Amino acid sequence: MANVSGKTRKRSAHNGPDSARLRAGELIVPRFVLNQPTSRLGLEPGWFRNTFTGEEHETLRLNVLLWRRGRVYFEDGEDTFPVCKSNDGLRPAPFIPAPKNETCGHWNGTGRFVPACRLAAWRFADGRRIPPLCKATWNFLSVLEGDDLPFWISLKGRSLRSARRFLSMCYEVTRRGKPELLDCSITLSSALVQGRSFDYYVVRFSDPAWLDRRSGRHRTLKHLLNRFGPARIQETFDAEMSEAEVPVTAG
Q: Identify which of 148, 177, 2 has the alpha carbon closest to the alpha carbon of residue 65.
A: 148
Whole-number CA gyration radius for the chain: 19
Q: Identify which of 87, 117, 115, 80 has the alpha carbon closest to the alpha carbon of residue 100.
A: 117
Q: Identify which of 184, 127, 180, 188 has the alpha carbon closest to the alpha carbon of residue 154.
A: 188
Statement: residue 218 has pLDDT above 50: yes
- Does residue 206 lie within any of the structural domains? yes
Q: Identify which of 187, 224, 196 has the alpha carbon closest to the alpha carbon of residue 48.
A: 187
- Does residue 52 lie within any of the structural domains? yes
pLDDT band, residue 211 (cuts 50/70/90): very high
Q: What is the pTM of this model?
A: 0.80
Residue type, 164: R
**Percentage of the chain modeled with pLDDT above 90:** 53
- Does residue 29 lie within any of the structural domains? no
- Does residue 31 lie within any of the structural domains? no
- Does residue 92 lie within any of the structural domains? no
DSSP-assigned letters across all residues of 203-241: EEEPPPEEPPTTSHHHHHHHHHHHHHTT--HHHHHHHHH
More confident residue, 229 or 15: 229
Q: What is the pLDDT of residue 195?
A: 74
* CB neighbours of residue 135 within 10 Å: 18
> In this structure, are residues 149 and 61 in contact, taking their beta carbons and an 8 Å threshold?
no
- Does residue 125 lie within any of the structural domains? no
What are the pLDDT digits (tens) for 160-205? 999 999 999 998 888 877 789 999 999 999 999 987 778 999 999 9
Query: Could you list the residue range(s) of the whole structural domain that residue 240 is in?
Result: 8-13+36-81+141-244
Q: What is the pLDDT of residue 10?
A: 52
- Does residue 115 lie within any of the structural domains? no
- Does residue 240 lie within any of the structural domains? yes
What are the pLDDT digits (tens) for 18-66? 555 556 567 899 999 999 988 777 689 999 999 999 999 999 999 999 9
Element of type H or E holding 242: helix 233-245
126/144 Cα distance (integer angstroms): 45
Per the structure, the count of domains in the chain is 1
Q: What is the pLDDT of residue 77?
A: 59
